[in-house]
A and B are shown apart, each in its own frame.
Chain A
Amino acid sequence: MTLYDVVLKNLKHNIGKYAIYIASLVFSVLIYFTFVSLQYNEQISEAFGRDDKMGPLLAVVSVLLAVFMIVFVWYSNAFFITNRKQEIGLYSLVGGTKKEIGRMLFYENMCLCLLALGIGIGLGQLFSTFFSMILLKVMGISLVVHFSINLGAIVQTAIVFGVIMLIASLHGYLLVYRFRLIELFQAKHRMQQQWKPSYLLAVLAVGLVGAAYWSLLHAYDSESWSEHFGRNMTLSLIVLVAGTYLLFHTGSSFFVELWQRRKKAYYRWKNLLTLTQLKSRLKSNGFLLTVISVLNGMTLVAFGFAYTMYFNTMQTLGDHVPYSYQMDVQSVEMNNEITKVLHENKDHPVLFDETFDYLMVPGFAEGLDTIPGGYFYYGETFALLPVSTYNLLAKRLGRNEMNPLDAGETVMLGRNFIGSQHEEENVGRTVVLTSEEGEFSFQVTGNRIESLFSYDVQPSVLIVDNGMYERLKKGNAVMMTRVVTVDKQLEAAELTEALRAVIESGEVDYQGAHRGFYSFTDSYRTAQSIYGLLVFVFGFMGLVFLIATGSVIYFKTLTEAAEDRRRYEILRKIGLSRRKVKQVIARQTSLLFLLPLLVGIAHSCVILGSLSKVMDIQFVYPVSICIAVYTCLYWVYYKMTVATANKLVNP
């Protein structure tokens, strides 16, 4: 019998005990491989076509995933080896040098890793097909995904994981050197330290979290936030994380202590058993629980945000793209051709079809509170429309018409894509517009949050009196544009293609701020593919974090359960029924799962609440769905953990 026989026999015999470890390795490989194979999938890259916004994003995410996997594999490896202290001690006693033992574990680990790599890639093949279908679905691309084996993805996964696993195995090898023999035999008998709760730190913990919450929730009205959003956000998050850590590390034992003082509740057997242990557990796991809470919070914020953007953009796209089609007027022939195409089309009758002109006027915006982005984008000019044109369009779009304006008055129009706007923005301020006749000063008497164009980048629009419009025409660019809205515009992709063909057949030679062709269906598709990809990526990451945090708690609970085996045996011997022992286990485990989940939800709600006001987006509905899904998955993990722990200590 050689050492390698021992390694092999150990592997074969303990495969059940190693299952969790192998599973976590397989999971890491699976996630990574799935993602990489999406990157390599030819069908998907083809579906994206020219606008290759997916490549860089997926590349960044795959790096993030790899980093995350290193941490995860590292952690589970350390967990796995520490759990085998006794076995290592025995090898050491019968004369194994640390070098030999380390090498043994190293080989064993490499075997496991190779096994995991194989299984992970195999499963990943199936999953990647499934995930590509989801990806294409949320991006609104209809395509039948074929099962394909992707050599590039396999090679990349194998290399990345080969390196990660080599590092983890080396780490395990080095861990053996850190063990001292006497510790290996005394580990079980180490006493748990009892902690005196500190009022000060508990108050500080609550104070820090409270301060961060307060600051976040008042971000909307705050001067300092509107000027230094990034800085304040970072600061609040740091304070929040620090507060969370203190809350778990110190605060928790303090609150348990408070609970313990209520003797009546405390001496109920379940509470007694749960609380005494909980105090030291929460403290020693303070760091872990903080990390998990923060990860949970982050996941919920990221996914909630992405999902909301998706949800909201799709819902409110009509506000940003008010017409089915907008095109710059070119030749008369082309115009007629377009009209012909529009009227030949039976599925989508034309609801309105207007042609109007507007001016692009250079002006000075220094007098304004908030200078709209469109002003700078279009070379410090404003788009100018007369009241009459506005009222015509408003009637078509079902908006409120406008009362006539005085010569020196103007109404501003603009709608932010993201970000809240004040109703009375810039009202009472002045803008100066220039024409051949000189400079004209206008006072802003009203502000409307709406878009008047279907352009990708909206110019800042000013509505002026008809007479003033005529005067400003001199020396400024006059734009002619045609807007069309058809019935059932969302399904009008075919019509869009027909129109695009007409436009592209003509020669585009127009000196102006815009030219071309803007359609609702194109905008919708673009938005869907961008936000769909975001939702997918964040959803995927969220799933990874969820499973990872769940597994970490699972590991942790099982390690602790194994240590407490004797304790539970005593409980059973002094007459606690199996059912009740299980209840005690369930109670302890539930807190380990529930606390970080609740804290994570609370944090994410406050952060999203703050963002919701600043960005003027409603998060409630999509975020509720996220939280519900997240909680359900966590619950499954909880049930699994309790069942396994129970099997371990309560056979």
Chain B
Amino acid sequence: MEIVVEAKGVHKVFGTKTNLVPVLEGVDVTVHEGEFVGIMGPSGAGKTTLLNILATIDQPTSGSIRIDGTEITGMRDEPLSEFRRSNLGFIFQDYNLLDSLTIRENIMLPLAFANQSYVTTDQKVNEIAEKLGIAPILERYPYETSGGQKQRTAAARAIIHNPKLVLADEPTGALDSKASMDLLTAFQLMNREYRTTILMVTHDAFAASFCDRVIFMKDGRLFTELVKGDKDRKWFFDQLVTTLSSLGGGRYDVI
């Protein structure tokens, strides 16, 4: 299987000269094509920083990151934007939809930057919206929809341009359990139907139990890794909870 993400020895240090805070201390991550990978860990473990670096939003202090074979560290701004446009999709906790555009237009936004034709765009939006269950609200504005619908819109926007990799940062953080369930099912569907590679940061074991593989982080390093394999989600969930409590985040962090 093709390797989509290959990060080696990623270090990240925040702060000023006098007060340096190491956040990532040599992280190696490999994600293969078509995988649905979760990243978990207690607060301050460096999950979001890692995701931001993989998303090309932030730069690592040192280390190498190859996405789909392209080295992205040290890339200049212009090619980086082009790279993001064709290879990456993003989903955030707070949706990041534009209020001025309808749901349909929000989903189309990445294609607007890629200058694609109307007809193919429209067909594609309809198809994805149908799959993610947001077809009936396509002509509405974001403020007329629920949180779950907004997040599925964000998910649709993230995959509309067939990216190599979709990055999700706490996508269920602001959703109730029903909306979370819908979203995660949508993720699974994206993963299976379109073979989208997904990398998701979460602190919610329920959300993580939808993944094929979960990477645990602690204090800026990789701690361990769990693979679901052919077991069911319930079993995987129990495994995740056990691992999390051994991580020392405390049980309260888990449930």
Contacts and interface: CB of A to CB of B under 8 A. Distances in A.
Interface in B65-109: 77-78, 81-82, 84-86, 90, 96, 98-101, 105, 108-109
B52 A6 contact: no
Contacts of B118: 1
A160 B81 CA distance: 36
Contact of A3 (B86, B99, B100, B112): B112
Contacts of A267: none
A1 B115 CA distance: 8
Contact of B81 (A86, A97, A185): A97
Given A14-B100, A98-B78, A182 B113 contact: no
A1 B105 contact: yes
Contacts of B121: 1
Classify the interface of chain B: helix, strand, loop or mixed. Answer: helix
B164 interface: no
B9 interface: no
Interface in B112-128: 112-115, 118, 121
A93 B84 CA distance: 7
Contacts of A87: 98
A92 B81 contact: yes
B78 A99 contact: yes
- In the A-B complex, list the 4 residue pairs whose CB atoms are closest, starting with the nearest: A95-B85, A13-B100, A97-B81, A94-B110
Nearest to B56: A181
Given A87-B98, A90-B96, A182-B52, A96 B58 contact: no
Contacts of A9: 100-101, 105
Given A1-B118, A2-B115, 5 more contacts: A9-B100, A9-B101, A10-B98, A10-B100, A93-B96
A94 B100 contact: no
Contacts of A3: 112-113
B77 A6 contact: no
Nearest to B52: A182
B45 interface: no
B157 interface: yes
A386 to B, nearest CB: 87
Nearest to B90: A93
B57 A98 contact: no
Interface string B51-62: 010001110000
Interface in A58-109: 86-87, 90-100
A3 B112 CA distance: 6
Contact of B113 (A10, A13, A91): A91
Given A9-B105, A90-B98, A97 B110 contact: no
A182 B77 CA distance: 13
A218 B142 CA distance: 66
A196 interface: no
A12 interface: yes
A95 B114 contact: yes
B86 A98 contact: no
Contact of B77 (A10, A14, A90, A98): A98
A93 B111 CA distance: 12
Interface in A615-639: none
A12 to B, nearest CB: 7
Contacts of B114: 95
A5 interface: yes
Residue in B52, B99, B109 whose Cβ sees the most chain A Cβ within 10 Å: B109
A95 to B, nearest CB: 2
A14 B98 CA distance: 11
Contacts, number: 77
A80 to B, nearest CB: 15
Given A1-B112, A3-B112, A182-B58, A95 B100 contact: no
Nearest to A5: B112
Nearest to A184: B57
Nearest to A99: B78
B68 to A, nearest CB: 15
A99 B52 CA distance: 22
A562 to B, nearest CB: 14
Contacts of B115: 2
A97 B115 CA distance: 13
A87 B84 CA distance: 17
Contacts of A5: 105, 112
Contact of A95 (B81, B96, B105): B81
A186 to B, nearest CB: 9
A98 B81 contact: yes
Contacts of A97: 77-78, 81-82, 85
Contacts of A182: 52, 57-58
A485 B218 CA distance: 101
A91 B86 CA distance: 14
A608 B103 CA distance: 62
Contacts of B110: 94-95
Given A1-B121, A5-B112, A14-B100, A95 B86 contact: yes
B143 to A, nearest CB: 11
B98 A100 contact: no
Contacts of A181: 56-58
Contacts of B99: 13-14
Contacts of B112: 1-3, 5-6
Nearest to B157: A94
Contacts of A99: 78
6 contacts: A9-B105, A90-B96, A97-B85, A98-B77, A182-B52, A182-B57
Given A87-B98, A94-B157, A1 B108 contact: yes
Nearest to B102: A9
Contacts of B100: 9-10, 12-14
A388 B84 CA distance: 101
B46 to A, nearest CB: 15
A134 B118 CA distance: 58
Contacts of B161: 95
A95 B81 CA distance: 5
Nearest to A3: B112
B83 to A, nearest CB: 9
A141 B77 CA distance: 64
A570 B111 CA distance: 39
Contacts of A98: 77-78, 81
Contacts of B109: 1, 6, 91, 94
A90 B113 CA distance: 12
A96 B105 contact: no
B55 to A, nearest CB: 8
Nearest to B100: A13
Nearest to B108: A1
B43 to A, nearest CB: 14
A94 B96 CA distance: 11
Interface in A1-37: 1-3, 5-6, 9-10, 12-14
A305 B98 CA distance: 52
A12 B99 CA distance: 11
Residue in B52, B56, B81, B98 whose Cβ sees the most chain A Cβ within 10 Å: B81
A393 to B, nearest CB: 81
Residue in A14, A93, A99 whose Cβ sees the most chain B Cβ within 10 Å: A93
A91 B100 CA distance: 13
A96 B78 contact: no
Interface in A100-146: 100
Contacts of B56: 181
B97 to A, nearest CB: 8
Residue in B96, B111, B112 whose Cβ sees the most chain A Cβ within 10 Å: B112
Interface in A417-467: none
Contacts of B101: 6, 9-10, 13
Contacts of A185: 57
Contacts of B84: 92-95
B234 to A, nearest CB: 35
Nearest to A15: B100
Nearest to B115: A2
Contacts of A6: 101, 105, 109, 112
Given A13-B100, A90-B96, A90-B98, A1 B111 contact: yes
Contacts of A1: 105, 108-109, 111-112, 118, 121
